Structure 1
Amino acid sequence: MRYRFRCEYLGSAFYGWQEQNCGGKLRFVTVQSTLEEALSTALRAPIRVVGSGRTDTGVHARGQCVHFDFDGELDPQKVVRSVNGLTKRLIRIRDLEPCASDFNARYDAVLRYYQYTIFTRPVALMRDFGWECGSLNLDIEAMGREAQSFLGEHDFIDFCIPRNDGKSTLCTLSEFRLERLNDWSCMFHIKGNRFLHRQVRAMVGTLFDVGRGRYPEGTVNQIFEKNFKGERTWAPPQGLVLENVEYRDY
């Protein structure tokens, strides 16, 4: 039987989502390997999990969706308690339930929602959950206007780590909104059907360059049109959170 659940995790505690093997041995502790170990212990059987997407080292999640197969009956509440007790408060799973045998957490997703937080003053309490930019006087309005250039379908080959596997780099973004939280922080709300490797961090880094006056508004379109030659900033991972993944029936 196939089961699915939601999970959140502290990205700074792991080397990203994807399990990394080296000669049959785990090379780094990842979210996937930690979940599989906890579920295998709780269910006393080898378990493999599939997530909705692969988050990078340092990237957090609040609404990652995961599925796995298990031959036998299980008590969802008991399994949730067991897994949450085994993951050292770094991962929390919830809403474990049976699902259709053909449900796929990765390929059935229709919308992914990310948030990215920027701090424009030095912070201590929240520095692991946002990009601390010091005391820069960012033009938040310009960043918000420039973000609209990402909406719609575009080829994001120049806003990602190249894949070189022949697969499409077309993505459709339905929302890229900048919310001012207070006078020293702001948050991007970014929704799309799919995202490429480090795409969000590349996009936010470009908007940061516009906001600090390094490049003018219109830079995003210049990059899309391959008319841009300057160096660009990559936003650090800790400001990024996979907030939610939507499905047609979930």
Structure 2
Amino acid sequence: MRYRFRCEYLGSAFYGWQVQNEAGKTKFITVQSALEEAFSIALRTPIRLTGSGRTDTGVHARGQCVHFDYDGELDPLKTVHSINGLTKRLIRIRDLERCADDFNARYDAVQRYYQYTIFTRPVALMREYGWECGSLHLDLDAMEREAASFLGEHDFIDFCIPRNDGKSTLCTLYEFRLERVNEWTCVFHIKGNRFLHRQVRAMVGTLFDVGRGRFPEGTVNQIFEKKFKGERTWAPPQGLVLHDVKYEDY
């Protein structure tokens, strides 16, 4: 039988989502490996998990979706309680339920929603959950205008680290909106059908370069058209959160 659940985690405590192996042995603690160990202990059988997508080292999540197969009935509330007790408060799961046997957390996703937080003044309490730009002046209006250039379908090969796996680098973005939370906090809301390796961090880094006046507005389209030359900034991972993943029925 197949089950699914949502999970959130503190990305700075792990080496990304995906299990990493070297010579058949787990080299680093990842979210997937920590959860698989917890499920295997709670259910007393090896469990393999499939997530909706990979998150890099330092990237957080609130709404990662995961599925797994288990040969038997389980008590969702009891299982959630057990898993959350085994993950040292670094991971929390919720909404565990039985699902269709052909449900796939990765391939059935129709939309992924990320948030990226930027602090425009020095901060201490929240710096692990956003990009602290210190006293650097950012033209947020210019960043907001430039963000609109990402909307629609584009080839994002120049806004990612290619995995060289032969898969398409076309993605469709439905929303790229800047929310001014207060005088010193802003959040980008980014929604799309799929995202490539480090794509969001590359996009936000480019907007940062425009906002600080390093590059002019129109830079995003120049990159899409392969008319841009020069090094760009990569946004750090701690400001990024996988907020939600949408499905037709979940």
Report TM bin, short chain.
Answer: over 0.9
The secondary structure found in structure 2 opposite 1:113 is: strand
Alignment partners' CA distance in 1, 2:15 and 2:166 = 26
Cross-structure match for 1:175: 175
1:77 equivalent to 2:84? Answer no
Cross-structure match for 1:158: 158
The secondary structure found in structure 1 opposite 2:40 is: helix
Q: Runs of 4+ in structure 1 displaced over 4 angstroms?
A: none
1:91-130 mapped onto 2 (5 Å cutoff): 91-130=91-130
Identity of aligned residues (%): 85
The secondary structure found in structure 2 opposite 1:148 is: helix
Alignment partners' CA distance in 1, 2:137 and 2:196 = 30
Q: Could you tell me how far 1:25 is from its partner in structure 2?
A: 1.2
Give me the CA root mean square deviation. Answer: 0.5
Alignment partners' CA distance in 1, 2:96 and 2:217 = 45
Cross-structure match for 1:187: 187
User: Structure 2 length as normaliser, TM-score?
Assistant: 0.99
The secondary structure found in structure 1 opposite 2:118 is: strand
Match for 1:114: what amino acid?
A: Y
Q: Deviations over 1:144-189 (max 9, x none)?
A: 0000000000000000001212110000000000011111110000
Alignment partners' CA distance in 2, 1:179 and 1:98 = 36
The secondary structure found in structure 1 opposite 2:29 is: coil
Match for 1:125: what amino acid?
A: L
Q: Deviations over 1:191-248 (max 9, x none)?
A: 0000000000000000000000000000000000000001100000000000000001
Match for 2:157: what amino acid?
A: I
Alignment partners' CA distance in 2, 1:35 and 1:163 = 25
1:222 equivalent to 2:231? Answer no
Q: Deviations over 1:108-129 (max 9, x none)?
A: 0000000000001111100000
Cross-structure match for 1:147: 147
The secondary structure found in structure 2 opposite 1:223 is: helix
Unaligned runs of 5+ in 1: none
Alignment partners' CA distance in 1, 2:198 and 2:60 = 13
Alignment partners' CA distance in 2, 1:230 and 1:28 = 34
The secondary structure found in structure 2 opposite 1:33 is: helix
1:51 equivalent to 2:57? Answer no
1:31 equivalent to 2:31? Answer yes
Q: Deviations over 1:1-22 (max 9, x none)?
A: 0000000000000000000111
Match for 1:6: what amino acid?
A: R
Alignment partners' CA distance in 2, 1:5 and 1:165 = 28
Alignment partners' CA distance in 2, 1:82 and 1:99 = 20
The secondary structure found in structure 1 opposite 2:227 is: coil
Q: Deviations over 1:34-73 (max 9, x none)?
A: 0000000000000000000000000000000000000011
Alignment partners' CA distance in 1, 2:4 and 2:85 = 19
Cross-structure match for 2:133: 133
Alignment partners' CA distance in 2, 1:61 and 1:68 = 19
